Structure formats: structure tokens, C-alpha cells
Amino acid sequence: MNVALLYLSHLGYGGWLSYTVHMQRAFEQAGHNTKLFKIGNNTESKERPYGYGVNYRNISRETLEDVYDAADIVIITALGKKLYDVLPLLKAQTILVVHDHTEITPELLEHIDRFKIVAIRDAPNKLINSKGVPSVFIQHPYSAPLYTGPAKRQGAVSISRLDFDKRTTMICQANEKVVLRRRVRIYGEPGNLWARAMKGKGFDWKPYWFGRFERSFSAMQEILHSANYCIDLSIIKGDGGGSQYSFLEAWDAKTALVVHRKWLETKGELVEGRDCYAVESAEELADFLKHDHESSIIVENAYNLLKKHQGKDVVKKFMEIS
């Protein structure tokens, strides 16, 4: 079957990108001919690198119809506000993946009846339903290749983007309270607004930042295999409980996950002390970092959660609603 994935965003990092990569891999591994497209000013015949071994092709708004003509299924893996002008050009019954209930904006609601909505976590799915929008919960797929590199573990890392909702400032504040070898090594893309806000406050986060990393599975896993703990303090209002790609990547690397306790207030996959640790302040995180923890059971329990995200099962659910 021919599957077209439309990435309707200009963002080149983060969960939207990761989701699209794993969707492409999942459908390909299930035996489907899967192509990834982005909207550009011109339609191009050549493919460009998207990251993580996946390529995409730019198409113009005028030739979007050609994608529908060649595909049996069209799935929008991400939709950014800057590309809302494309909405009227999308055909009825196109599958639209929503990563966060806040993506259901008034502008999108004007077109929502034409789409089949998929939510990637149960909490946002319920919130989307509460807005009168029918949606289906399908867990995000995880289809990373086996990592065969070394695992020399020390301390903790963070691999999320640097931003307000990731509580990066809290991680930096915890770092100020611990010795150098115990500090969280922060990797990822700094959010522009967050970076400007930190500069305005005179807060120096760069001593804790180890830079961006290559968009490849090996680079990601090399970072995670260098640490005992992965710190992700994400909080999304009205969301939580479930997983994000930084969680899945940590589970795969058998690196113990530390989340914000507020994330666990919504019932979902994760339970503190069973498959993750949890903190809710810079002081509590600093105290956690100052000590070594026996994490073998937590790591193994978390690794087993990956079974819920097998690509073949996710593909089957998409096929059922297409």
C-alpha cells in the first residue's frame, strides 16, 4: 500500500520530528511504500535528508493534489500554525495526528470535521473529545535500530529541547547545587523565547549545555548510554501520564528516567518507583543527583513498556481507521 506522510511544520527538532521518523520506519517495516513530504515554495524531484536516516521531498501547495492521487493513505504527522493556509487544500477523511490538546485551536476547529483525528496519549484524547471533537487514541510508535556502541555510564543527561514547558531552568538550578561530576549534561535545541528570557534575567545556562546533537539514532543513543539517568521535567497543562519520545529513547537505552511529579498526576503508563523516578523542585532534583540509586528494576520495567509502542501494532490501528 502507498502511504504519504505530510509534515506540515517548519520545526526541525523535537517530538513532532521524532514521531514522523518512527511513523515512516513503522510503515516501511510493515511492508508499505511510505513517502514523506513537506510543503515548500516549489515541488522538487530530489529528496532531502530529514534526519535519522529518513528523507523527504518538498511539494508546493499547487501540487498537493498529486500526493493524494499517488497515495492510498495520507497522514498528517504534525501541523504547525504557520501552515494553516494548507488546511483548505487537504481532502476530507485525511488522518490528522494531534500531539497536544492545545493544538485544537479555533482556526483548526473550522476545518476539523473533515479530518480523522488521532491523539498520541490518552489524556489529550479525552480533552479533545471534551471539545466535541471525535478522536482516536493510538500510541506513538517506536522503531529504532539496535544500538551496539559502548555504555560508559556516569551521572545524568537531558535530551529534550531547552524550553519553559521542559522546565530546563529547574534543571540548571539543580545543577548549581551539586558538584561538577553530578550535574545534568543538557543536550538539545534551545527554544528562542526561552533563551531570550534567560538572557533578560541574566541567567547563565550555557555552562550546563553540551550543545545540539546530530539527528541520528546513534548520536541519541550514545548520549543516553553515557548516563545513568535521563531527566525530562516536561509539564503540559491537562496532559501527562503517558510517554514522550525522550522517555521511549531512555527506556530503549536502559537509562533510568526522572520526570516531574506533576506529569504523573494524570493516570497513564508511568508509576513513580515502578518504572521512573519523580521530583518536583530544583532542590529535590539536586538531592536526587547527589546520590547513587539502584535502578535495575525501574530500568527493566520501563524497557518492557516499549512493547506497547511496537510499530506493527500502531500501523495496524492506523489501517483500521483509514
Residue 146's pLDDT is 86
SS3 125: helix
SS3 158: strand
Rounded-to-integer distance, Cα 138 and Cα 315, Å:
9
Rounded-to-integer distance, Cα 117 and Cα 134, Å:
7
Q: 3-class secondary structure for 266-309?
A: CCCCCCECCCEEEECCHHHHHHHHCCCCCCHHHHHHHHHHHHHH
Residue 13's pLDDT is 87
Residue 247, all three cell numbers: 522517555
Mean pLDDT calculated for residue range 77-88: 96
Mean pLDDT calculated for residue range 21-36: 97
Instruction: Please calculate the CA angle 166-309-103 and round it to the nearest 5 degrees.
Output: 45
Rounded-to-integer distance, Cα 276 and Cα 255, Å:
10
Rounded-to-integer distance, Cα 28 and Cα 212, Å:
28
pLDDT of 50 higher than 90: yes
pLDDT of 241 higher than 90: no
- Model confidence at 214, in pLDDT bands (50, 70, 90)? very high
Amino acid making up residue 152: K
pLDDT of 70 higher than 90: yes
Q: Return phi, psi of residue 167, to 5°.
A: 55, 40
- Model confidence at 3, in pLDDT bands (50, 70, 90)? very high
Q: What is the pLDDT of residues 144-190, one digit of tens each?
A: 888 888 889 999 999 999 999 999 999 999 999 999 999 999 999 99
Measured between alpha carbons, how far is residue 92 from residues 49, 115, 271 in Å? 29, 6, 39
CATH topology of domain 2-138: Rossmann fold (3.40.50)
Statement: 156-308 belongs to CATH 3.40.50.2000: yes
pLDDT of 240 higher than 90: no
> CATH topology of 2-138 equal to that of 156-308?
yes
Q: Which helix (H) or strand (E) holds 27?
A: helix 15-29
Give the length of the chain. Answer: 322
Check if the beta carbon of residue 199 is closer than 8 Å to that of residue 221. Answer: no
Residue 149's pLDDT is 86
pLDDT of 128 higher than 90: no
How do 54-59 and 48-51 pair as beta strands? Answer: antiparallel
Residue spans per domain, the chain: 2-138, 156-308
- Is the model more confident about 236 or about 289? 289
- Is the model more confident about 181 or about 240? 181
pLDDT of 78 higher than 90: yes
Residue 123's pLDDT is 85
Residue 31's pLDDT is 97
Rounded to the nearest 10 degrees, how much is the dihedral formed by the CA atoms of 61, 63, 65, 70?
A: -130
Residue 236's pLDDT is 87
- Model confidence at 89, in pLDDT bands (50, 70, 90)? very high
For 222, how many CA atoms within 13 A lie in the half-sphere containing its CB? 9
Mean pLDDT calculated for residue range 278-294: 98
**Number of other CB atoms surrounding residue 37 within 10 Å:** 21
Measured between alpha carbons, how far is residue 297 from residues 150, 251, 304, 308 in Å? 21, 12, 11, 18
Q: Return phi, psi of residue 35, to 5°.
A: -120, 140
pLDDT of 131 higher than 90: no
- Is the model more confident about 239 or about 1? 1
